[in-house]
Amino acid sequence: MEMSVVEIICKNCGIDTLLNREAIYDGFTKIGEKLICSSCGFEYPSEDEVPFKNKKVESPIFTEADLSSKIKVFNEGENKCICRYCASYTVNPFTQFCSLRNKEIQATDTCDQFEENKEKTDPIL
Ligand SMILES: [Zn+2]
């Protein structure tokens, strides 16, 4: 019989306490153990259900929802590298113009020299 002290936080009484193990005998043969809260006497049906105090809490894993929201954020960032969000993007009633490359462009164009426009608000909306 295991004699080590096992600390638990009882899920029945909520007390930070100890687990009592009581051997179960069939005649003279030990067939198992009762796992009992030493504070309230609650009996745990199996080792798996004992709320061991020092049990490692599993680190949270990313759910699919987390992953998809990350991907979404990434895509939004990508979409911002288009001419309409660029510092060199100039628009007037007749044309859209890149002041850097000195040519007519579309708002949805992309280019290597994209530089985020942090000052101007979206000129189209
Ligand atoms: Zn208890």
Check whether residue 45 and residue 69 sit in a common domain.
Answer: no
Domain that holds residue 89: 64-104
Candidates 18, 46, 49; CA nearest to 33 is 46
Does the pLDDT at position 1 exceed 60? no
> Full-prediction pTM beyond 0.95?
no
Q: How far is the CA of 58 from the centre of ligand 1 (A)?
A: 23
98-117 pLDDT, tens digit per residue, is: 998 899 998 888 888 888 88
Domain count, the chain: 2
Instruction: Flag whether 110 is in a domain.
Output: no
Largest CA distance in the chain: 98
Q: Measured in angstroms, how far is the CA atom of residue 21 from the centroid of ligand 1? A: 13
13 and 45 assigned to the same domain: yes
Residue 124 pLDDT level (bands cut at 50, 70, 90): low
Triad 30, 36, 41: Cα angle to 5°: 135
In the reported structure, the alpha carbon of residue 30 is separated from the centroid of ligand 1 by a whole-number distance in angstroms of 25
Q: Residue 41: inside a domain, yes or no? A: yes
Per-residue pLDDT tens over the stretch 13-26: 999 999 999 999 99
Q: Please check whether residues 15 and 43 belong to one and the same domain.
A: yes
Identify whether 26 is part of a domain: yes
pLDDT greater than 80 at residue 70 = no
